Amino acid sequence: MTRDGGTARSGAVSDSRFLRAIDGIGSACATLGDGLVIAIALMLFMDVALRYVFNAPTIWAQDVAIACQVWFTYLGMAYVLRKRQMIRITAVLALAGPGIRRAAEAFALLVILAFSLVAVIYGFDTVMDSIRLGRRQPTMLEMPNWVSELPVVVGFALLAVQALADLIRLPFVPAPEFTPAGEHAPASDGTLIE
């Protein structure tokens, strides 16, 4: 037994190199998403300045900004799941015991995993069709459609892997706690729930 009441094996599984690598990929994608948000702001600021100050708008800023927005949205999903920042309705679960809370968490992760795999399969087919048919967006830039479709596949693949990692980790970590003040309020023992 370890000092926190867990076993050495549970600590090894929940903190394995494989699971840390998955968490690291999610964090790296979230950081990339942060950079994309900054890039979007700079592109749109530049486009507004060029349009209204120099009367010379770009033909690409809006299309590229939209593509970046799609990318940062999907790249961040795995990180948001890992940090438990997705919208959750926990009023009933806050009253449940640890076993029910853990079972509900496992069920939610299984649903996320299943949905993510379906999204990857259908999204991949859509991307391949767009590449094969040469589909383009009906804008002046005529960006290929796959540029905005690929993040769906990548994002849901990352989300599926993160859900699987969290499922593997679930038996070895304390049951999730849900407080009336929110999931990030101090738990009954004073620690911050993450």
DSSP classification of residue 87:
-
How would residue 176 be classed by pLDDT, with cut points 50, 70 and 90? confident
- Residue 143 above 60 pLDDT? yes
Sequence ranges of the domains in the chain: 8-172
Give me the pLDDT at residue 115, please.
98
Give the C-alpha distances (Å, rounded to integers) separating 64 from 76, 100, 149, 161.
Answer: 18, 45, 13, 28
pLDDT digit string (tens) for 71-108?
999 999 999 999 988 887 777 888 888 899 899 999 99
